Chains A and B, each alone.
Chain A
Amino acid sequence: ETGVTQTPRHLVMGMTNKKSLKCEQHLGHNAMYWYKQSAKKPLELMFVYNFKEQTENNSVPSRFSPECPNSSHLFLHLHTLQPEDSALYLCASSQTLGDIQYFGAGTRLSVL
């Protein structure tokens, strides 16, 4: 049982849809992260939040919009995505920045 829970596990959406990914951590951590994992490519850091404040936006297109209402919850709002955005989206958390990161199970996103 992972301490980081992601929903939904699978998502299929059209290019004009709006959807949101949710991440919740039960570890009492203060930092949360969004990563994108595409085939044959290393994990790409997208966003970092520390104590609810965004500390990193790794040049992510504006069609991805993160939200962190508190240290335990992280959302990724999606709109007008492209087929190349199809990937595994992973959420992670750590006690502090620079600490061990623990991953959720991920959301497999397919954009048609």
Chain B
Amino acid sequence: QKEVEQNSGPLSVPEGAIASLNCTYSDRGSQSFFWYRQYSGKSPELIMFIYSNGDKEDGRFTAQLNKASQYVSLLIRDSQPSDSATYLCAAYTGFQKLVFGTGTRLLVSP
């Protein structure tokens, strides 16, 4: 079983819509979770981090965490073509090792 799982996509949404990206993790000891955005050929850029159950909002981005279900999500409101990228979910394991999913490719069409 992969430690952090994401649907590889692509997830296609029209401009202005809400994009919903999902991630599950296997280590119940994980306490901190991260979403990175990676444009093609570029390095990962931190978008959000979340440590507590519930929602965390920052501008057009909302991260959601449900530790009981071992589920993390990222919502992007009013999606823009510039949001088209691969979104990486990551979680620290109990050994302080940051484990990444394979990423979900998001395509926002004008």
Q: Which residues of A contact B (CB under 8 A)?
A: 2, 33, 40-43, 45, 48, 56, 88, 90, 97-98, 100-106, 108
Question: In the complex, what's the smallest C-beta–C-beta distance from B80 to chain A, in angstroms?
Answer: 23
Q: Given known contacts A43-B44, A90-B43, A105-B42, is B103 in contact with A100 (CB within 8 Å)? A: no
A40 CB contact (under 8 Å) in B92, B97, B102: B102
Q: Does B107 contact A (CB under 8 A)?
A: no
**Residue contact B98 to A41, C-beta cutoff 8 Å:** no
Q: Does B106 contact A (CB under 8 A)?
A: no
B43 CB contact (under 8 Å) in A40, A42, A45, A103: A103
- Total A-B pairs in contact (CB under 8 Å)? 44
Question: In the complex, what's the smallest C-beta–C-beta distance from A88 to chain B, in angstroms?
Answer: 8
**Residue contact A41 to B102, C-beta cutoff 8 Å:** yes
A98 CB contact (under 8 Å) in B4, B44, B96, B103: B96
Alpha-carbon distance between A56 and B88 when the two chains are bound, in angstroms: 22
**Residue contact B98 to A45, C-beta cutoff 8 Å:** yes
Question: In the complex, what's the smallest C-beta–C-beta distance from A38 to chain B, in angstroms?
Answer: 11
CB neighbours (8 Å) of B46 from chain A are 100-102
